């Protein structure tokens, strides 16, 4: 188009917008704080991650797990309209009894249209991906694997408490995601579904009978420096529309370097049980590394999963993107 043609179009737009002041006018919305997305504070999310890591590894049947769970409940109570705690004893692949808690916070509890945001809060009892076999039997810090998703969600929860979104939102911290059969026992003790025990329990026993949400978003390993979130296979199969909604919001905000516009592999993760058990189309935002045979980054399930690896730019990219998606949702 040349300048002569563009100018009348711009003029027409200006004239149209002048003659249409009031409800529905996009210019009026710019001055209305309640119609805008709040800013995600990455310093705050980082501090929530550090706080969890400072308890020590959050492995069921330890004091650290107990104390961190108490802390998460008290934080969510500050920020959510309603908090539910599901207490249950789950059976690990090796017969161990695991005292566990799923921690749930609700916003706009009476709204029919709901969005579910979730992450796991426990950490892996073993560093079974360590190259040195002598290092494989002790638990990990789980700064990214565990704490990052919860840290981002606590900051999102804090933002909800300052300015409520239109839609109903539920946040769940699932327990016992990472108690799956370790590599060094796979040959002798293989058990299917040894992962995601907390979400499996919740899918069969939701905190509200018949619980439904329009869609779900899982945050798993969302804090590492230079993270890459590919479009996970199960997410694409059951919730492609939600993947596109989140990935395009990220692109529009300038976070396309984290949210890669390409397919990744399939990951058995908490979203699988939310999809199968409750029929809620759900996606997994998870850091992939295609260079590794297991598909995850080098630090995954090793003693390198520490705070050193956590980057505020990644936290901001994930947190701001999801806030943008949530605040664009209208209530039904």
Residue ranges in contact with Zn ion by CB under 5 A:
124, 145, 178
With 0-12 CB in 10 A as exposed, 13-18 as middle and 19+ as buried, what is 257?
Answer: middle
Q: Which is nearer to ligand AHN, 284 or 324 (CB)?
A: 284
How buried is 328 (Cβ within 10 angstroms: 0-12 exposed, 13-18 middle, 19+ buried)?
middle
Assigned token pair, 46: 């980082």
Stretch that binds ligand AHN, among 5-13, 32-40, 95-103, 261-269 (CB under 6 A): 261-269
Cα 152 to its chain centre, rounded Å, is: 7
| Shortest CB 203 distance to Zn ion, Å | 19
* Residue 195 lies near ligand AHN (rule: CB under 6 A): yes
Closest to ligand AHN by CB, 125 or 168: 125
Write each residue from 125 to 164 as x if it is in contact with ligand AHN (CB under 6 A), else as -, in one continuous string.
Answer: --------------------x-------------------
CB-nearer residue toward ligand AHN: 166 or 289: 289
Q: Check residue 220 for interaction with ligand AHN (CB under 6 A).
A: yes
Q: For ligand AHN, which residue of 53, 213, 267, 280 counts as binding (CB under 6 A)?
A: 267
β-partners of residue 305 are: none
In the complex, least distance from residue 268 CB atom to Zn ion, rounded to whole angstroms: 11
* SS3 category, 32: coil
Q: Which of 142, 85, 99, 126 is nearest to 299 (CA)?
A: 142
Binding at 278: pick from Zn ion, ligand AHN, none (beta carbon under 5-8 Å per type): none
Q: The tokens of 41 are what?
A: 């504070």
Which C-beta is closer to ligand AHN: that of 247 or that of 288?
288
Maximum CA extent, the chain: 77
Nearest approach, Cβ of 69 to ligand AHN (angstroms)? 18
Give the strand pairing for 168-174 and 97-107.
Answer: antiparallel
> Which of 128, 175, 269, 311 lies at the binding interface for ligand AHN (CB under 6 A)?
269
Tokens of 152: 């981002």
Within 61-120, which residues bind ligand AHN (CB under 6 A)?
none
Q: Extract the tokens encoding 61.
A: 């049947």
* Closest approach of Zn ion to the CB of residue 320, in Å: 25
Q: What distance, in Å, lies between the first and last C-alpha atoms of the chain?
A: 41
- The region, left, alpha or beta by phi > 0 then psi within -120 to 50, assigned to residue 150 is alpha
Tell the smallest beta-carbon distance from residue 61 to ligand AHN (Å).
19
Choose the contact partner of 310 out of ligand AHN, Zn ion, none; CB within 5 to 8 A by kind: none
**Residue 140 or 167 having the CB closest to Zn ion:** 140
CB 57 within 8 Å of CB 64: yes
Among 180, 206, 216, 317, binds ligand AHN (CB under 6 A): 180
316 phi/psi in degrees, rounded to 5:
-60, -45
Cα Rg of the chain, angstroms: 21
Q: Which is nearer to ligand AHN, 305 or 324 (CB)?
A: 305
With binding defined as CB under 6 A, does residue 284 bind ligand AHN? no
CB 275 within 8 A of CB 213: no
CB of 195 to ligand AHN, least distance (A): 5
- Contacts with ligand AHN by CB under 6 A lie at 145, 178, 180, 195, 220, 267-269
């Amino acid at each position: 188009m040349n300048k002569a043609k563009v100018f009348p179009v711009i003029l027409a737009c200006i004239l149209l917008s002048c003659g249409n002041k009031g409800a529905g006018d996009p210019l009026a919305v710019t001055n209305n704080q309640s119609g805008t997305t709040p800013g995600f504070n990455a310093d705050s999310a980082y501090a929530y991650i550090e706080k969890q890591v400072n308890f020590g590894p959050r492995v069921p049947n330890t004091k650290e797990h107990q104390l961190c769970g108490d802390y998460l409940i008290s934080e969510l109570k500050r920020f959510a309209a309603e908090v539910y705690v599901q207490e249950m004893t789950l059976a690990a692949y090796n017969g161990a009894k695991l005292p566990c808690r799923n921690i749930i916070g609700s916003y706009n509890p009476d709204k029919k249209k709901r969005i579910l945001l979730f992450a796991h809060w426990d950490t892996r009892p073993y560093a079974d991906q360590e190259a040195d076999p002598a290092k494989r039997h002790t638990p990990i810090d789980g700064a990214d694997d565990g704490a990052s998703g919860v840290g981002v969600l606590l900051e999102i929860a804090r933002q909800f408490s300052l300015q409520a979104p239109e839609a109903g939102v539920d946040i769940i911290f699932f327990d016992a995601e990472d108690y799956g059969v370790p590599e060094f026992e796979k040959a002798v003790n293989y058990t299917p579904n040894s992962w995601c025990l907390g979400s499996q329990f919740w899918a069969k026993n939701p905190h509200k009978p018949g619980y439904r949400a329009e869609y779900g978003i899982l945050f798993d390993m969302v804090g590492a420096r230079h993270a890459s979130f590919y479009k996970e296979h199960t997410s694409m199969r059951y919730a492609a529309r939600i993947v596109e909604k989140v990935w395009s919001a990220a692109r529009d905000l300038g976070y396309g370097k984290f949210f890669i516009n390409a397919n990744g592999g399939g990951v058995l993760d908490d979203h699988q049980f939310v999809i199968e058990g409750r029929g809620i189309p759900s996606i997994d935002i998870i850091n992939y590394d295609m260079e590794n045979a297991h598909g995850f980054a080098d630090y995954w399930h090793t003693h390198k999963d520490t705070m050193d690896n956590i980057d505020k730019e990644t936290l901001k990219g994930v947190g701001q993107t999801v806030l943008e998606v949530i605040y664009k949702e209208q209530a039904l």
